[in-house]
Structure 1
Amino acid sequence: MAEIEPLLESADMLVLVSPLYFFGVSAQLKAVIDRLCTYCVDNCKKPLNIKETALIMCGAGEEEQFFSGAIDTYRQTADYMRWEDRGVLIATSVTAKGDVLQGDWLAKAQVFGAFI
């Protein structure tokens, strides 16, 4: 966290990226989310400049419903921190290295990136 704290404090947008691990975000991303309590809007020692956020995930699940727990965590965090949710991009059926190159995931990511 010490390495990313200066970057986090100067950012105006935060894009959270994670593989799906048993219906949630990775432990590494969850640790960062948990550490955001230092910057909570109602009880913080120093507020963040972040105004907007987005979520990008991939996982083996064939349907987006498998991602609902992770998406809920993201949206509740964004809401609590009073960040504008700029969207969620989910790549399903990604089980092995290179799977994300199949189909139209990269094109969707490019459009998503241009939107945010």
Structure 2
Amino acid sequence: MKKIVILLGSPRKNGNSERLAKSFATGAESQGAQARFFRLHNMNIKGCSDCRQCWSKGKHCIVADDMSQLYESIDHADVIVFATPLYWYSWSAQIKAVWDRMLPYVSDKAKTTVKDKQSVLLVTAGDERDDVFDAVLESFDRSASLLGLKLAGKICAHNVYDIGDIEEGNWLDQAKELGASVGKVN
């Protein structure tokens, strides 16, 4: 059974990016996968201070906050899903803090790695044009490459701002299909 960690980067409960993530999870779970959601807005995750003390006290990071829960789940996951609304052409603050705190996985002292785990990007934007995703896509691609993550898929849903806009079009179907594909045991 595949274990999937879904990081919800939106402060809006049941907003468009969360609905997209839930549809992805439904597809994955239909193939026997297990999905675990983390609502980042409700967690205490501090920013990285770039202290380079990763692993110095036997754990990922010396900062004592809720990121320790994410590290544990990410360590045991097969798939990491980054679900976020687009804010100023990039990540929401909630999910950006998590990206910054992935530094222990590329440390020379790393005791665990995310190399070869699958990654998925689910991002929504109210903008009508799909080129508004360019910056977040570049950030995702470069970060995933640095970490050694394998791309399992991306969905960039545009023209979805108000809660429920994601119901229009076929975004949720695409997410469910991607989830089913990722959820299969090879």
Same fold (TM over 0.5): yes
Which of 113, 128, 141 is equivalent to 1:48?
113
After superposition, the C-alpha distances for 1:43-78 in whole angstroms (9 at most, x for unaligned) are 242222552111001111212210111111111011
- Kindly provide the amino acid, as one letter, of the partner of residue 89 in structure 1: I
Structure-2 residue corresponding to 1:112: 178
d(CA) in 2 for partners of 1:43, 1:19: 32
Give ranges in structure 2 of 5+ residues lacking alignment.
1-66
Which deviates more, 21-30 or 48-57? 48-57
d(CA) in 1 for partners of 2:108, 2:162: 42
Note the 1:1-116 alignment, pairs <5 A: 1-40=67-106, 43-49=108-114, 51-116=117-182
Q: 1:92 to 1:45 in 2, by over 3 A?
A: same
- Kindly provide the amino acid, as one letter, of the partner of residue 113 in structure 2: L
What TM-score, normalized to structure 2? 0.58
Give ranges in structure 1 of 5+ residues lacking alignment.
none
d(CA) in 1 for partners of 2:126, 2:109: 37
Q: 1:64 to 1:44 in 2, by over 3 A?
A: farther
- Please state how far the C-alpha of 1:2 moved relative to its aligned partner: 2.2
After superposition, the C-alpha distances for 1:17-37 in whole angstroms (9 at most, x for unaligned) are 100001001111110010001
- Give runs of ≥4 in structure 1 deviating > 6 Å: none
Bigger RCO of structures 1 and 2 (CA < 8 A, at least 6 apart): 2
Q: 1:28 to 1:102 in 2, by over 3 A?
A: same
d(CA) in 1 for partners of 2:124, 2:83: 9
Count of residues paired in the alignment:
115
What TM-score, normalized to structure 1? 0.91
d(CA) in 2 for partners of 1:104, 1:110: 10
